[in-house]
Amino acid sequence: MKKRENKLSRTIGLVLAIVQLIATGIFMAGIFKLNMLPTKYVVAATVALVLFWGIILASQFFSKKNAITGKIISVLITVLLIFSSYYLFKVSGTVSKISGGEYKLDKVVVSVMADDSAEAIKDAKNYTFGVQYKMNGDQIKQTVQAINEELGTEIKTEEYDTLAEQAEALHDGKVDAIIYNQGFTGVLEEAFEGYEDNTKVIYSHDIKTEIEDTSSDVEVKNDTFSVYISGIDVYGAIETNSRSDVNIIAEVNPTTHQILLVTTPRDYYVEIPEVSGGQKDKLTHAGIYGVDKSMKTLEKLYDTNLDFYARVNFTSLITMVDALGGVDVESEYAFTTSEDSGLVMDVVQGTNHFNGKQALAFSRERQNVPGGDNQRGKDQQAVITAMIKKMVSPAILTGANGILNSVSGNVETNMSEAQIQELIKTQLSENPQWTITSMAADGTGDTQYCYSYSGKPLYVMQPNQESVDAIKEAMDKVENGETLEGGTTTTE
């Protein structure tokens, strides 16, 4: 009887050991797929897991009793390995999701006045639609065709030369609806106060366009590279073309461990290469035509080459900062944020510990700070600097899960999965201290006609060439391995 019990106990122990071995194999596969841990950690994990397995297996054959303790430990280790494997594959999937941006998304919409009885496109079957084909003409034609197919009839259209004429025709009742790229909604809001409140969208047509692969084959562990960080003003899909309200260039030298953050005001009056035909426009409007056009605009302004882009929905900043346990942000001024920032709060001069909502409000404020939009750009740099300092500290380990949840669907980059993995692996392996220096282009306020809206002059900022030249010089120094003065280190 006792022999049978011992035999059964050993059989159960052997089964548990086999299950543990399978779980170990899956876990190690997850580590290799993730490809972010330094080799020394992978080797240590492998040796430890093999030893654990060997001890558990030996306990089932050489113990004189039923080795209950070994069985319990085996079950616990197996459960832990399964849970950890799920997490590893989830992390890998998230990195894959945010990397390799391949297309941009345009939403072409049909808008009517807010008090119009139509709630869907079928209600507007007999309407007259205002259209214009000079900007994004092919997209408008595709949308008209899609509407015709959905309604089973050909809609009546009235053509206008500009977006401004379209909007005026809708407000004056000359047409019942207008068809335009939703990315221009912000432009219309600049020109017509209360435009969004006075209109409503009754139809939307998505158009996907492949983006030319502008990423660089950079060895991010050794080569200096630049990242264009674009903070967009949409709440939908991250790929959606929209105005870029945040325009920051990060010049990174992984050898000297220097990062130069450069902010360019959203209203900078510049040319949009391959779009505006030499006519000038606001920098923020370049985002309507795609992140690639924003990059080309900044490349021309600073006479440089941008290797990568990262598009960020800044509403995700709340979750990211909270996942890090908050951030310590340096403010140049003491002020109280306005209601437009999303949260009224007092900011002190010097160090402020912000949670996610506070960090976002600080980043958005431009009414109650000296310098307005110029200072807002500097404050956005301060928040990003604080986040970088936390992300290269041990806080990244405790907040990793929350950060990944927040970036999934809210961040997109054309940096490859392998390049992202190499960056993280190098940081974990070497844990270097980074020096972060911030610079901001400035200029003077003005009103000028813009390419994207010719109805009337809009507020713009004329570039200060001296500040632009100073930024060019600093970029060259970082690339050449020279040390910039005035930077802050990431020591925690």
Q: What is the pTM of this model?
A: 0.79
Tokens representing 96? Answer: 């894959």
CB atoms within 10 A of CB 435: 19
Per-residue b or e along 236-253, where b marks 16 or more CB atoms closer than 10 Å to that residue's CB: eebbbbbbbbbbbbbbbb
Q: Is the torsion defined by CA of 113, 119, 120, 122 positive or negative?
A: negative
Assess whether pLDDT exceeds 80 at residue 58: no
6-30: per-residue pLDDT in tens? Answer: 666 677 777 877 888 888 888 888 7
Instruction: Tell me whether strands 128-131 and 156-159 are parallel, antiparallel or unpaired.
Output: parallel
pLDDT at position 212, please?
A: 64
Assess whether pLDDT exceeds 60 at residue 92: yes
What are the CA-CA distances from residue 194 to residues 114, 117, 172, 190, 450 (Å)? 11, 20, 15, 9, 20
| Candidate from 114-123, 247-256, 318-327 with smallest mean pLDDT | 318-327
Task: Round to whole Å and give the CA distance between 290 and 300.
Answer: 16
| Structure confidence at residue 216 as a pLDDT band (50, 70, 90) | low
Assess whether pLDDT exceeds 80 at residue 391: no
Assess whether pLDDT exceeds 60 at residue 492: no
331-387: per-residue pLDDT in tens? Answer: 999 999 998 888 899 999 999 999 989 998 998 888 888 888 788 888 888 888 888
- Cα diameter, the chain: 97
CB atoms within 10 A of CB 461: 24
H/E stretch holding 12: helix 2-34
**Between 18 and 139, residue with greater pLDDT:** 139
Q: Which of 166-175, 225-234, 308-317, 398-407 has the highest mean pLDDT?
A: 166-175
Provide DSSP, 172-206.
HTSSSEEEEEGGGHHHHHHHSTTHHHHEEEEEEEE
H/E stretch holding 41: helix 39-62
191-215: per-residue pLDDT in tens? Answer: 787 888 899 999 999 888 776 665 6
pLDDT at position 152, please?
A: 93
Mean pLDDT of 212-239: 76
Tokens representing 331? Answer: 């403010």
| Structure confidence at residue 48 as a pLDDT band (50, 70, 90) | confident
| Structure confidence at residue 239 as a pLDDT band (50, 70, 90) | low
417-429: per-residue pLDDT in tens? Answer: 888 888 878 877 7
DSSP 154: P
CB atoms within 10 A of CB 185: 22
Name residue 229's beta-bridge partners.
248, 310
Query: What's the number of CA atoms in the CB half-sphere (13 Å) around residue 292?
Result: 15
Q: At what angle do helices 68-98 and 39-62 cross, to 10 degrees?
A: 150
Provide DSSP, 103-120.
EEEEEEEEEEETT-S--S
pLDDT at position 209, please?
A: 76
The percentage of residues in the chain with a pLDDT greater than 70, rounded to a whole number, is: 86
Mean pLDDT of all residues belonging to the chain: 84
